Amino acid sequence: MTGSGEQFASLPSGIDICYETFGSPDDAPVLLIMGLGGPMNWWSTEFCEQLAARDFFVIRYDNRDTGRSTKLRQHRVSKRDILRTAVLGRGPLPYTIGDMAIDATGLLDHFDIKRAHVVGVSMGGMIGQTLAIDHRERVLSLTSIMSTTGRRTVGRTNPKLFPLLLASAGSTRESYAKRAIRSAEAIASPGYPPDRAASLARAHETYDRGWSASGVARHMMAVIAQTDRTKRLAEIDVPVTVVHGLNDLLVHRSGGRATARAINGAEHLEIEGMGHDIPPQLYETLIDAIAKTAARAKVD
């Protein structure tokens, strides 16, 4: 089952979103939302094909500031801005997690899809949670993976990752690839170590499709400045499954636990040996979770 090839949706906001679909439009739609700095190819083609084979119409896309979607380079963010916002809670904010959720609804509008099953990873989980709160009429179910509530006391990043996260990726394809591999290995699932050749291929594809260091910085600002959704998560009234790795250094498992506690009736799946990535060995486990969550949804 092959994908549709990359296409574009022009949103009313002026943002152009690059996307690709898998499966039949007659099947139930699943919107895949990737995390910070991650373009749609971080949802591997194999993962999308396996999910589509479960009778889903799968949509993966580049968030704003990633891949071939619109880059908002007019909004400059420095490392000092990021640190000041992290410490003081204020700084230049080009856009919010809520704005990125509106991008997602705009993409659904492009397909004339009224409601979709939403799956988000890390920052994508934050966007998915926001969709389920602020645009609940658009969400059939939510699978929130290795994400958190926005409360600063949960889901904290292990401090030993900070130097790597703030390190420069250089200005060349190879310097980016080297840093990307170091980052991937630092947060990878210890139970399912990444394949170096596969990591290199993904890094090259990411760079070639339009990697943007300034875009990553703007994503960081949106994540750091996000509001605490804990109380509002109780408003979600669709089926939810929260998935988290027990070995996640980037978003501590307390973030997943807090999310599951906050949402009435949420299923909670913790995976031993899983870090902050989606290893191929766990595709079946994650797809089962998505499919079971979708099966609990009420479809009009």
Question: Domains of the chain, with CATH numbers?
Answer: 7-157+215-295 (3.40.50.1820)
Nearest to 220 by CA among 66, 76, 37: 37
| Amino acid letter for position 266 | A
Structure tokens at 169: 């990726």
Question: For residue 87, is pLDDT > 80?
Answer: no
Q: Is the pLDDT of residue 155 over 90?
A: yes
Residue type, 267: E
What pLDDT band is residue 43 in, cutting at 50, 70 and 90? very high
| Average pLDDT value over all residues in the chain | 95
CA 188 to chain centre: 16
Dihedral, CA of residue 147, residue 152, residue 158 and residue 162, to nearest 10: 100
**Percent share of the chain, pLDDT over 90:** 87
Which region, left, alpha or beta, applies to residue 91 given φ > 0 means left and ψ of -120 to 50 means alpha?
left
Task: Kindly state the helix (H) or strand (E) to which residue 46 belongs, with its residue range.
Answer: helix 45-52
CA distance 24 to 56: 7
Q: How many helices (H) and strands (E) does the chain have?
A: 11, 8
Q: Which residue has the higher pLDDT, 123 or 2?
A: 123
- pTM across the whole model: 0.96
- The pLDDT score that the predictor gives to residue 1 is 63
Q: What is the pLDDT of residue 166?
A: 79
